[in-house]
Structure 1
């Protein structure tokens, strides 16, 4: 019972750390996209001047967020898998017999969460970009 309680506490701690990491990552994506919109205001104005719709501008920013998030998730899943494998190998060197098991469902969940983080993190910057007036955006320096 004591060992099970210890494991449950470790899982709660692990999930709390993971939640904080996801929140920090989401804020990082929002910040990156916001800075991208800020720096490309003139470019966005020119796109609007040549006929790009507000919806297309918003979609462009959201797609950028999805790409950033998925690249981060792919790197995270790859490094996490490598570190897990190395941890198992290190445990075997210490005299413990542990088989390496790669759980595919959490890796898939991480990639799907990256997709959703990219979509939701891109909404605010996309809205900001789509609302920019053409004349003000083109004159922006």
Structure 2
């Protein structure tokens, strides 16, 4: 029998806290409590060697259902399209103009947070409409 595994989604990025806080706003996630013995994440960060300060950040689904998101600083910038991306499911069950209106409303909200609209992909014989976007560091995701 195969056991069910938990997954964590990891983002390579230049500014882990900035990208994490963007995704908290997108998904309704929260920053978990700091490690035991530290009153705040700032206290914990100051306890690290300078080269590790700001090197990672995380956010979690407050309901405990969704995967933990982990953001790690890497030296190289993003240069190619992601091979894996998140689909943010805001239009589930909706079709036509009603779906487009929901996608556009969420797109406008995310643009205010620093996201970039890339392309509206209209419904075809196999898929409903979705909106391709990029987060604050250019990582692709879709509003679906």
TM-score band by shorter chain is under 0.3
Q: How high is the TM-score relative to the length of structure 1?
A: 0.26
Q: How high is the TM-score relative to the length of structure 2?
A: 0.26
Structure ranking higher in strand proportion: 2
Radius of gyration: which is bigger? 1
Q: Point out which structure has higher relative CO (alpha carbons under 8 A, 6+ apart).
A: 1
Structure ranking higher in helix proportion: 1
